[in-house]
Amino acid sequence: MLTETISGKCPCCGYDKLFQRYGSMGYVLMDGCANCGFGYASNAHDGESYGVDAWLSYAQHVLACMRAGGSYEEEMARLDGLSNEDLRRAAFEWCEEQERWDDVPTTIFKYTDQDVQMHKALGLPVFKNMEQATT
């Protein structure tokens, strides 16, 4: 069984609408933050992926399914034409429109401070400052 949800809380930026997949070990399980780009994905067969590479193709699939004005294939082709940053921004804007589920309080995987600092060192843009958003 596989669960796909918008929930959790990013360990890097505090955004609370992560792309998350969890359940059976045969599937790719992941945490992905459209706000800052943090991510991690793993399964028992294909190894691991980090950062935006861990979740952006999944987000593209979700966007193509949810926003298809024409066919899924046409929407995927349109999204293929976007840069990674523009695709991430589109995913973030879509997440902002969605209701957050409370399936997972934080993340699917456990992350260390080193994991967080390595991601922050990449310097990817953060679309929404969560410290300012709560004040």
- Break the chain into its structural domains and give their ranges: 2-129
Instruction: Provide DSSP, 55-81.
Output: THHHHHHHHHHHH-SS-HHHHHHHHHT
Residues 19-47 have pLDDT tens digits of: 999 887 778 899 999 999 999 999 877 78
Residue 128 has pLDDT above 90, yes or no: yes
Summarize pLDDT for 114-127 with one digit per residue, the tens.
999 999 999 999 99
- What is the pLDDT, as a whole number, of residue 114? 95
What share of the chain has pLDDT > 90, as a percent? 65
122 closest CA partner among 58, 38, 6, 16: 38
Structure tokens at 16: 């609370």
pTM for the whole structure: 0.89
Q: What angle do CA 84, 134, 52 make, to 5 degrees?
A: 15
Backbone angles phi, psi at 131, to 5 degrees: -65, -40
40's enclosing H/E stretch is strand 39-43
Per-residue pLDDT tens for 59-102?
A: 999 999 987 667 889 999 999 999 999 999 999 999 999 988 88
Going by pLDDT thresholds of 50, 70 and 90, the confidence category of residue 132 is low
